[in-house]
Amino acid sequence: MKKELDYIDLIRTRHSTRDYDQHTLTDADRTQIMEAVASAVPLGSTVRLEWKIADRSIMGCSGLVYAKCGSSHDELAEYGYQGEQIVLALLAREWGTCWYGMVRMPGSPCSITVGKPAARRVRSVVMGALSRGHMRKSLEQLVTGGIPEHSSPLVRTVLESARLAPSAINRQVWSFEVTSDTQIVIKGDAGRFPDLGICLANAMVTARQLAGKATVSRLNEGTYSISW
């Protein structure tokens, strides 16, 4: 029987890995990584992404996971949506990962570094400070109109998972709105990064874990609803 992932725990405990052990990917490693890729569900049907593994030791990692992607808002959202699901699946298999906007393969907006985590060194401390990982906005700052007093714990958990999504320089370029006890709306500015899609993925997998199902719908450019 296929083991269900505890996405909520993965989201709450994840951190960007920037120090890696020296490790060359084996055929078994590649198979495991591509299984994580295959587990990601797409956001829409109009954008096709073909994820690949590149052998490249950037920041000491064993490889990069990436796909060719255009620069439109919808394409970037799709990239982040699928990519974050891949990240969470890799974390569950004890791989270290990190979104890197400065590390791009031809045609990709950014890459996901993959490797075996090593003990934290100076690089992690410096990169963590530069990415402002310690300066995350609160839900009070992100939820438009506030969280209704009688909202269910499920709503709050989905919002918290969305809040914890990684973003470029920890900008958190999104806002949330609670429209009912079974739906939230997420608005965001893509820019040239897939941040909004990453946030949507965190909300979706959390709602799916708690409610058994979740639907993400595009309302207009930069605005999506998550229903369960």
- Are residues 205 and 121 located together in one domain of the fold? no
Which CB contacts under 8 angstroms, 24+ apart, belong to 156-160?
157/8, 157/206, 157/210, 158/184, 158/203, 158/206, 158/207, 158/210, 158/226, 158/228, 159/184, 159/203
- Are residues 27 and 70 located together in one domain of the fold? yes
Residue 134 located in a structural domain? no
Q: From residue 35, give the alpha-carbon distance in Å to each of 29, 39, 112, 119, 154.
A: 10, 6, 15, 27, 29
Query: Residue 130's pLDDT is what?
Result: 46
Query: Are the beta carbons of 219 and 185 closer than 8 angstroms?
Result: yes
- Are residues 157 and 44 located together in one domain of the fold? no
Question: Using one digit for the tens of pLDDT, what is the confidence trace for 125-162?
Answer: 445 544 445 578 999 999 999 999 999 999 999 999 99
Query: Residue 132's pLDDT is what?
Result: 47
Query: Are the beta carbons of 216 and 226 closer than 8 angstroms?
Result: yes
- Are residues 125 and 143 located together in one domain of the fold? no
Residue 183 located in a structural domain? yes
Rounded Cα gap, residues 109 and 153, in angstroms:
35
Rounded Cα gap, residues 40 and 104, in angstroms:
21
- Are residues 165 and 105 located together in one domain of the fold? no
Question: Using one digit for the tens of pLDDT, what is the confidence trace for 22-56?
Answer: 999 999 999 999 999 999 999 998 888 999 999 87
**Which amino acid would we find at residue 156?**
R
How many independent structural domains does the chain possess? Answer: 2
Tokens of 32: 């495991």
The whole domain housing 108 covers: 7-129
Rounded Cα gap, residues 24 and 153, in angstroms:
43
Residue 2 located in a structural domain? no
Q: State mean pLDDT over 82-104.
A: 94
Residue 177 located in a structural domain? yes
Query: Which CATH number does the domain housing residue 48 bear?
Result: 3.40.109.10
Q: Indicate the range of 6-15, 18-27, 97-106, 180-189 predicted with least confidence.
A: 97-106
- Are residues 74 and 145 located together in one domain of the fold? no
Q: State mean pLDDT over 171-182.
A: 96
- Given 98, 129, 160, the domain boundary residue is 129
- Are residues 125 and 12 located together in one domain of the fold? yes
Name the pLDDT band for 124 (thresholds 50, 70, 90).
Answer: low
